[in-house]
Amino acid sequence: MNYGYFDDKNREYVITNPRTPVKWINYIGTLKFGGFVDHTGGALICKGDPSLNRITKYIQQMPSSDFKGETLYLRLKQGENYKLFSPFFVPTLDRYDLYQCHVGPGYNRIISEFYGIRTECTIFVPTDDVREIREIKIINKTDEEIEIDAISVVEYTHFDAIKQFNNADWVPQTMQSRCIREERGLATLIQYAFMRRETDVNFFTSNHPISSFESDRKRFLGDNEYGTWSNPLSLQKKELDSYEAHRGDNIGALLHHLGSLKTGEEKSLITQLGQEQSFEKARSGIDKYRDPDAVKKAFTELNDFWEEFLSGIQVETPDLEMNSMLNIHNPHQCFITKNWSRYLSYYQPGIGTRGIGVRDSCQDVMGVISHIPEESKELLKKMMMIQRTNGSAMHGFNPLTMEGSKGEIGDWSDRPQYYGDDHLWIVLAVTTYLKETGDMEFLEEIIPYYDEKKGDQQLESGTVKDHMKRALNFTRNDKGKHGLPHLGFADWNDTVNLRTGAESLFNTHLYGKDLLEMIELCRYLGDEAGIKLYQTEHNELKDIFNRTSWDGEWYVRYFDSDGTPMGSQKNKNGKIYINAQSWPLISGMATPENAKKALDSLNRLLNTSRGIKVSWPGFDGYDRNKGGITTFPPGTKENGGIFLHTNPWVVIAETIMGNGERAYEYYSQINPVYKNDIIEEYECEPYVYAQNILSDEHPQFGLGRNSWLTGTASWMYQAGIGFILGIRPDYSGLKIDPCIPGKWNGFKVTRKYKNAIYNIEVKNPDNKNKGVYRLEVDGRGISGNIAPIFKDGKIHIITAIIE
């Protein structure tokens, strides 16, 4: 069974059946103002911080049929009563003749037909503005003239998301609404928590006269709330009570009499939901967007933004599903993860959040540096601002206040009080930025360090280069019994929390990869001492790694505090871990022979038809000494589940091995586009990657969860563009180093790079996997596989032949 289809031409996925297995969402706006909107018109909207300034009440855990945040009702007079329905299906659940939710970058457009009435509603936040717009068109497709009323509804939450749920007296006592009547029958409902009356006022308004309104949920639903969202009793009366709530559960309901519509006639309506200091401050913006032309212009600007963003890299391979992801949905998801981190999704309620993770954002940024280098740089700076003077980093931070957070460590006072990997991601992200932009001046930019107990003291600062060096120094001096980097509270795998003294092979390889990057950078800068320093450290680490971590058929993943290995044949659970096999290739530390064996073992023991498992076998019972991983049943999340973030690293490792067949197989088997046909099993949106899929150790093998906000997006994009297609920036130019399936005869890529456009065609006449034999740049052959830097704003034709 399908719930929709891909429309690549219009850059949309079109949902055609609203009864999806779970709500499917899309993002509108940015962290400045926005949130997500689901395919039935429900929306979770915030301004600034989702946990501290939330506008609509959207409770993910409630059933899908439930009202969530916002909706629209239409009603027709039928005898003494009204026939009431929602063109969004929820919450009235009427039978529809047509239902489509067009999911596009930055907007959802719901088109439906119920009882001969067609509704088209486009939901978006204008670029650079702070309001949610709903542009609604209603068309009479019946044979008769009909009278229609449209009732737009929003349910508010207390701005402090957690208080909404943990205080049911104070919160309702403080919530208030007022109606501001304007000229020509127009009106704006304002709503606020009492303490913010003078500072943060929510407004809900439209561009059509309203005859009445409601702001109290109890009155709207009627019968002491024994009326329901699917049939609010107040909507059986000609007019609402126009009651201004002094307390209670506040809503905004605007009743518009659209009048009579002849057959084929269309009426339209625009609503706005936003927040400003006061109605007076909001007024000019409200007026502006009451004009349909302004809304049209804003929507065009939104599309222009996406046209420009996506045109940064476009591909044409023989695999249409891969094209769909790499050209549209994957870069879109990368933009969303860069903006929203792990803040707010259908699975991440954004309540009491730990802010933005350094580790997460460093990786998210790597997925968008080529498209939005300036914004990426700003985020990189923030990540360095919460690095401690000793080189390690706080685990997360609030991007609005720049307050650092220690992450989950709080519950585990007996464990190391830092994460072993956070700071190391900064080095990788910065070098990726440098290769893309060539902005070497960034290395000299001065950024303060973070001090948890700073008080009035002057903060210590250092250049970006200094931040990178301190990060590396921290790990250089933080090693355990075997001479390998300590785990800290956790490494990339947040859930393995071993006792103090444990060593992590992931940290070893991330550090190793950083060292490789530093060697390359120093080479470019002509810094001989740096090259020597980092090369020596890499050699030594590589030597220790190869002496200690080979387990016979694969590499181990951790050494516990007493020196026993984890991820070894000797273990009963967690015998083999994915990252321990892929990362030795990324860090350049594996020997060719062991690398091959390790990747073959991974293929044999961890691969499934739905993706590669993070480890095997899962732990079957809580064990405090191992940590969070043992809190999940086997086959879920980090405990032997298919934790997708790890899969692109295997794709990359296979391309390093030159194994184009396997790289492509691993890439394709988790391409969400293919889930469209097995959606009853998978359940999540087929247009984005999910964080995890239940593995074959679980009875519900194949079920996806936690879609959207996952590092999978950035790494699948990097794996696809940078390693399978092999187009990746280097300090001296754009490298063309594909590793593709032999059956491909070639592919094309258009990529913007340093103010020039590279039109690349790779030909594969002999159906090989790898090895660029000949490179032609604008018709002239050059040696090597790096297309030069042009910076001339022109189009350049690059042809590469694999032979």
Indicate whether 340 belongs to the interface with ligand GLC (CB under 6 A). Answer: no
Pick the closest to residue 334 from 354, 363, 292 (CA basis).
363
Half-sphere exposure of 125 (CA within 13 A, CB side): 25
Measured from the CB of residue 322, what is the shortest distance to ligand GLC in angstroms? 24
Is the peptide bond prior to 91 cis by the omega test (within 30 degrees of 0)?
yes
Interface positions, 607-666, toward ligand GLC (CB under 6 A): 638
Enter the DSSP assignment of 54.
Answer: B
CB of 663 to ligand GLC, least distance (A): 22
Per DSSP, the chain holds a count of helices (H) and strands (E) of 19, 42
| Among 72, 279, 70, residue whose Cα is nearest residue 191 | 279
249 binds ligand GLC (CB under 6 A): no
Among 13, 492, 555, 758, binds ligand GLC (CB under 6 A): 492
Q: 6 pairs with which residues across the strands?
A: 13
Residue 111 CA, chain-centre distance (Å), reads: 26
Strand partners, 213: 254
Distance in Å, CB of 637 to ligand GLC, minimum: 8
Q: Which of 766, 759, 761 is nearest to 742 (CA)?
A: 766
| One character per residue 109-148, x = contact with ligand GLC (rule: CB under 6 A) | ----------------------------------------
Residue 439 CB-density burial (10 A; 0-12 exposed, 13-18 middle, 19+ buried): middle
Closer residue to ligand GLC (CB): 602 or 724 = 602
Please identify, using beta-carbon distances, which residue of 100 and 712 lies nearer to ligand GLC: 712
CB of 398 to ligand GLC, least distance (A): 16
Pair of tokens at residue 245: 């709530």
User: Pairing mode, if any, of strands 795-802 and 757-763?
Assistant: parallel
Dist CA 295 CA 123 (whole Å): 11
**Residue 493 in the binding site for ligand GLC (CB under 6 A):** yes
Degrees (nearest 5) of the Cα angle 76, 81, 87? 35
Catalytic residues: 494
**Which DSSP symbol is given to 551?**
-
- Residue 305 phi, psi dihedral angles, 5° rounding: -55, -45
In 3D, which of 528, 532, 491, 490 has the Cα closest to residue 515? 532
Q: Closest CB to ligand GLC among 289 and 343?
A: 343
Q: Which of residues 580-609 bind ligand GLC (CB under 6 A)?
A: none
CA distance linking residue 743 with residue 730, whole number of Å: 28
Q: CA 225: distance to chain centroid? A: 37
In terms of Cα–Cα distance, which of 733, 736, 709 is closest to 722?
A: 736
Residues between 199 and 228 that touch ligand GLC (CB under 6 A): none
Comparing CB distances to ligand GLC, the nearer of 105 and 357 is: 357
Give how far Cα 627 sits from Cα of 81, 104, 396, 480, 631, Å: 60, 40, 20, 19, 8
Count residues contacting ligand GLC (CB under 6 A)? 11
Q: Which two tokens stand for residue 272?
A: 């706005």
Of 299 and 558, the one with the shorter C-beta distance to ligand GLC is 558
Smallest gap from residue 557 Cβ to ligand GLC (A): 13
Q: In what order do the strands lie in the sheet with 795-802?
A: 313-316, 746-752, 757-763, 795-802, 772-777, 780-782
Nearer to ligand GLC, 88 or 418 (CB): 418
Name the residue number minimizing CB distance to ligand GLC.
494
Q: Which is nearer to ligand GLC, 68 or 342 (CB)?
A: 342
**C-beta of 494 vs 537, nearer to ligand GLC:** 494
The residue among 46, 39, 42, 40 whose CA lies nearest residue 58 is: 42
Enumerate residues 343-382 that contact ligand GLC by CB under 6 A.
357, 359-360
* In the complex, minimum distance from the CB of residue 642 to ligand GLC, in angstroms, rounded to a whole number: 13
Residues in contact with ligand GLC, shown as a per-residue x/- string from 439 to 478 under the rule CB under 6 A: ----------------------------------------
Q: How far is the CB of 340 from ligand GLC (least distance, A)?
A: 12
How far is 559 from 565, CA to CA, in rounded Å?
A: 4
Q: Whose Cβ is closer to ligand GLC: residue 160's or residue 360's? A: 360
Q: Which is nearer to ligand GLC, 154 or 642 (CB)?
A: 642
Q: How far is the CB of 799 from ligand GLC (least distance, A)?
A: 40
Give the 3-state secondary structure of residue 14: strand
Which of 118, 134, 342, 486 touches ligand GLC by CB under 6 A?
342
Contact 567, 577 (CB under 8 A): yes
Binding to ligand GLC by residue 579, rule CB under 6 A? no
DSSP 58-105: --TTS-TTS--SEEEEEEEEETTEEEEE-TTSTTT----SEEEEEEET
Count the Cβ atoms, other than its own, within 10 Å of residue 61. 6
CB nearer to ligand GLC: give 149 or 364.
Answer: 364
Minimum CB–partner distance for residue 775 and ligand GLC (Å):
37
Residues 775/762, Cβ–Cβ less than 8 Å: no
494 binds ligand GLC (CB under 6 A): yes
- By CB under 6 A, which span of 278-286, 431-439, 491-499, 720-728 interacts with ligand GLC? 491-499
Stretch of 477-485, 492-500, 593-601, 764-772 lying at the interface with ligand GLC (CB under 6 A): 492-500
355 versus 686: smaller Cβ distance to ligand GLC: 355
Omega before residue 617 within 30° of 0, cis? yes
594 or 707: whose CB is closer to ligand GLC? Answer: 707
Q: How far apart are CA 358 and CA 363, in angstroms?
A: 9
Q: How far apart are CA 506 and CA 577, in angstroms?
A: 10
Max CA distance (Å), the chain: 89
Please, what is the minimum distance in Å from the beta carbon of residue 776 to ligand GLC? 42
**At its nearest, how many Å lie between ligand GLC and the CB of residue 612?**
14
CB of 46 to ligand GLC, least distance (A): 19
Q: Which positions from 699 to 738 touch ligand GLC by CB under 6 A, shown as an x/- string?
A: -----------x----------------------------
Of the residues 56, 495, 579, 639, which one makes contact with ligand GLC according to CB under 6 A = 495
End-to-end CA distance of the chain: 43
Residue 685 engages ligand GLC in binding (rule: CB under 6 A): no
Least Cβ distance, residue 607 to ligand GLC (angstroms): 19
Q: Which stretch binds ligand GLC (CB under 6 A): 153-161, 486-494, 526-534, 589-597?
A: 486-494
- The candidate with the shortest Cα–Cα distance to 363, out of 427, 435, 443, 445, is 427
Q: Name the segment binding ligand GLC (CB under 6 A); options: 126-134, 180-188, 493-501, 571-579.
A: 493-501
Binding site for ligand GLC (CB under 6 A): 342, 357, 359-360, 492-495, 638, 691, 710
